[in-house]
Structure 1
Amino acid sequence: MLDNTRLRIAIQKSGRLSEDSRELLSRCGIKVNLHTQRLIALAENMPIDILRVRDDDIPGLVMDGVVDLGIIGENVLEEELLSRRAQGEDPRYFTLRRLDFGGCRLSLATPVDEAWNGPAALDGKRIATSYPHLLKRYLDQKGISFKSCLLNGSVEVAPRAGLADAICDLVSTGATLEANGLREVEVIYRSKACLIQRDGEMADAKQQLIDRLLTRIQGVIQARESKYIMMHARPNAWKKWLPCCRAPSGRLFCRWQATSSAWLCTWSAAKPCSGRPWKN
């Protein structure tokens, strides 16, 4: 059995968010071997257990208190939330923060040779989807009646196979839709990955570890948005070479390089060039 004193984090075993989730944990300094077939991996340097599961199991594991944290797409989280509410449940969890990966959109798509004059064109039609509750919420708000065809994969083939008149599925680039003779006609939900926490009491040691982890995640995300510039330059020469950049954030470090007879200056530029002249 798992040790209840250790922080449990659920991530997707394989799929769209798997690699980015593993990279995020690694960049946060969590040393754990996630390149094996083991479904539970123990961190070497922190009291953390990583559970590798199906993405649609993660919201339930968090809501039911089996794990403490989960990294999941907002689309999967919202679908599970709507499903449980439809069954009369009152699911509880906290969204700690939105992450900077896993961006996608849930869209309606129809055959390319069919006219589209808005959602009303779907009235009375059969729509294939893996997200029946998100689809129902959207079309109910539009006052559109429809028939749902639940598929857990290969949703794009449904119109050609005669299973449905249209589909509602995740879209990243649209290439898969195009390959199956479909076109994206309406976005009904936009999603990114997010970090969620279970409801209920949390041991002080666990909560402190979560707070530390959140600080590291913020640092990782901020670092991805930053640029590190290193150049050989004499002091004050950078204003001529980088006239569009703002003053460097943090301290500037310069030292004389005897081997190259030049000054080596380094700094971290936290913001990209603004297009405006340099101002002190």
Structure 2
Amino acid sequence: MLDNSRLRIAIQKSGRLSEDSRELLSRCGIKVNLHTQRLIALAENMPIDILRVRDDDIPGLIMDGVVDLGIIGENVLEEELLSRRAQGEDPRYFTLRRLDFGGCRLSLATPADEPWDGPAALNGKRIATSYPHLLKRYLDQKGISFKSCLLNGSVEVAPRAGLADAICDLVSTGATLEANGLREVEVMFRSKACLIQRDGEMADSKQQLIDRLLTRIQGVIQARESKYIMMHAPTERLEEVVALLPAPSARPFCRWPATSSAWRCTW
């Protein structure tokens, strides 16, 4: 049974965000063995439990207050949000920050040999998707009437199998679409991974741990986006070199004499 005094974080067990989520937690200093098949892994050095679940279960676990934090794709989060609202619910959660991985787009794709003159070409057509609510919202806004074919996997084979006229699916590189004779014709939704928190009261100790974790995540992301540059530069030209850096905040540097007093090593 889970200890409610420990911070509970849900991540994808396997799939597109799994490896990056594990790496992020590791870089934040959370020592935990995530290479077993166990659903729950306990951190060794912090009061944190990691729950490894299906990605489409994570928004519900957050909205129902079962876990405290979750790392999830914005596409899955938005689909769950629309689904619950369609059922008359008022789901609540906080988005703490967008992360620097999991980038993709939810797009419409049609057979490559068919003409495309905009979303109106889909009027009255059958569209296969795993994201029926996002698809409906987008085409409703365009005033397009369509029939939905719900598939939980292998959406890209639907046109070739005669199940649908077009598809709405996640695209990263487009290689899978091309391999199935499809082409991307319209981007509906752009997504990245994000960190979300449940609504409701949180013990002070948990909130302090969340705040500390957020600071570490910011540090990890900033470090991944930063570059270390070392150079030899003539002393009289040093200020010109520094001025070429993109912004004052990006210009912290050190200098020391090289073998010649006319040159400086700078980083």
- Fold shared by both chains (TM-score > 0.5): yes
Give the C-alpha shift of residue 38 in structure 1: 1.2
2: distance between equivalents of 1:142 and 1:188?
Answer: 11
* Contact 1:254–1:263 (8 Å) recurs in 2: no
* Contact 2:257–2:263 (8 Å) recurs in 1: yes
Give the C-alpha shift of residue 142 in structure 1: 0.5
1: distance between equivalents of 2:31 and 2:221?
Answer: 19
Give the C-alpha shift of residue 263 in structure 1: 9.6
* Contact 2:111–2:182 (8 Å) recurs in 1: yes
* Contact 1:252–1:265 (8 Å) recurs in 2: no
Q: Deviations over 1:138-165 (max 9, x none)?
A: 0000111100000000000000000000
- CA distance 1:258–1:114, change in 2 (3 Å): closer
* Contact 1:106–1:168 (8 Å) recurs in 2: yes
- CA distance 1:142–1:65, change in 2 (3 Å): same
Structure 1: which 5+ residue stretches go unaligned? 234-241, 267-277
2:210 is matched with 210
2: distance between equivalents of 1:260 and 1:76?
Answer: 59
Q: How many matched pairs? A: 256
1: distance between equivalents of 2:163 and 2:95?
Answer: 37
Q: Deviations over 1:157-214 (max 9, x none)?
A: 0000000000000000000000000000000100000000000000000000000011
* Contact 1:127–1:166 (8 Å) recurs in 2: yes
* Contact 2:158–2:167 (8 Å) recurs in 1: yes
After superposing the two structures, state which structure 1 stretch, 252-261 or 71-80, moved more.
252-261
Give the C-alpha shift of residue 229 in structure 1: 2.6
* Contact 1:123–1:146 (8 Å) recurs in 2: yes
Q: Deviations over 1:17-67 (max 9, x none)?
A: 011111111111111111111111111111000000000000000000000
* Contact 1:56–1:76 (8 Å) recurs in 2: yes
- CA distance 1:72–1:250, change in 2 (3 Å): closer
Give the C-alpha shift of residue 108 in structure 1: 0.3
After superposing the two structures, state which structure 1 stretch, 19-28 or 249-258, moved more.
249-258
Give the C-alpha shift of residue 249 in structure 1: 6.2
TM-score by length of 2: 0.89
What percent identity do the matched residue pairs reach? 95
2: distance between equivalents of 1:7 and 1:262?
Answer: 56
* Contact 1:119–1:142 (8 Å) recurs in 2: yes
Q: Deviations over 1:1-30 (max 9, x none)?
A: 010000000000010001111111111111
Structure 2: which 5+ residue stretches go unaligned? 234-244
* Contact 2:69–2:197 (8 Å) recurs in 1: yes
2: distance between equivalents of 1:256 and 1:142?
Answer: 62
* Contact 2:258–2:265 (8 Å) recurs in 1: no
2: distance between equivalents of 1:46 and 1:7?
Answer: 9
- CA distance 1:175–1:253, change in 2 (3 Å): closer
2: distance between equivalents of 1:229 and 1:145?
Answer: 55
Give the C-alpha shift of residue 256 in structure 1: 8.1
- CA distance 1:261–1:155, change in 2 (3 Å): same
User: RMSD between aligned alpha carbons?
Assistant: 2.6
* Contact 2:123–2:144 (8 Å) recurs in 1: yes
2: distance between equivalents of 1:199 and 1:256?
Answer: 52
2: distance between equivalents of 1:199 and 1:182?
Answer: 41
1:24 is matched with 24
* Contact 2:159–2:166 (8 Å) recurs in 1: yes
* Contact 2:69–2:195 (8 Å) recurs in 1: yes
- CA distance 1:123–1:229, change in 2 (3 Å): same
- CA distance 1:264–1:40, change in 2 (3 Å): farther
* Contact 1:43–1:50 (8 Å) recurs in 2: yes
- CA distance 1:13–1:261, change in 2 (3 Å): farther
